């Protein structure tokens, strides 16, 4: 595949600006040299939609050959784009290691790879197959989708997506480095389903970033 387009999708909510800005500041310098071959789509949301609905809307709007999500409270390594982009050569999926921090402390290893037998945890670490944070062919992510998940009904969109995408993933390139940084917080923002009362100014996005049409004005 010559000059593939890679699209990174960030769903965020209006009152998590500090976390969102940290991620933007990590990604913006990395994508400049790729011109329009790497684009980032942001859905800046005031809790009007459930997270699975936002994710579905974003993959349907996406124009990348490869797409993946990064949540606004996560971060990426300095070489995230340089490690991934050269491997987008027609393979179905990019696997990698994830740096997992909780309350500032490094946790057990996290491995996202099709070589894993499924989603499981053991004394050595956390092992996952297809996940929404790993670059995947858009056509395959669309086949899986998020339409049969609903946080409010106890059907989380990430595990449902993983089950849906698994039959379609056949080939991968694996990166041994920890290129994605997972930092879960106690701020369960997506469990709130009402808009916040405070007014927030819609951020200005850097070059090669764009807003999804559903974004709050």
Give pLDDT, residue 147: 81
pLDDT band at 197 (very low <50, low <70, confident <90, very high): low
Domains in the chain (CATH in brackets) are: 6-211 (3.90.550.10)
pLDDT at 189: 58
Instruction: Give the CA angle between residues 194, 62, 193 to the nearest 5°.
Output: 10
Tell me the pLDDT tens digit for each residue of 8-23. Answer: 999 998 888 899 999 9
Average pLDDT, the chain: 91
Please state the pTM of the whole predicted model.
0.93
pLDDT at 187: 61
């Amino acid at each position: 595949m010559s000059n593939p387009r890679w699209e990174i999708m960030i769903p965020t909510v209006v009152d998590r600006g500090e976390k969102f800005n940290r991620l933007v500041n990590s990604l913006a310098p990395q994508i400049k040299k790729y011109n329009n071959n790497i684009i980032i789509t942001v859905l800046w949301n005031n809790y009007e939609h459930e997270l699975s609905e936002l994710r579905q809307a974003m993959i349907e709007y996406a124009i990348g050959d490869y797409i993946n999500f990064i949540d606004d409270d996560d971060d990426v390594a300095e070489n995230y784009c340089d490690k991934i982009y050269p491997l987008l050569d027609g393979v179905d999926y990019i696997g990698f290691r994830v740096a997992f921090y909780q309350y500032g402390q490094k946790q057990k290893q996290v491995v996202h790879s099709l070589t894993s037998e499924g989603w499981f945890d053991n004394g050595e670490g956390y092992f996952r197959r297809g996940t929404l944070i790993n670059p995947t062919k858009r056509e395959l992510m669309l086949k899986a989708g998020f339409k049969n998940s609903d946080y409010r009904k106890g059907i989380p969109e990430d595990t449902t997506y993983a089950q849906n995408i698994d039959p379609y993933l056949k080939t991968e390139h694996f990166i041994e480095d920890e290129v994605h940084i997972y930092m879960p917080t106690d701020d369960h923002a997506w469990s709130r389903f009402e808009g916040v009362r405070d007014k927030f100014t819609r951020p200005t996005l850097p070059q090669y970033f764009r807003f999804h049409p559903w974004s709050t004005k």
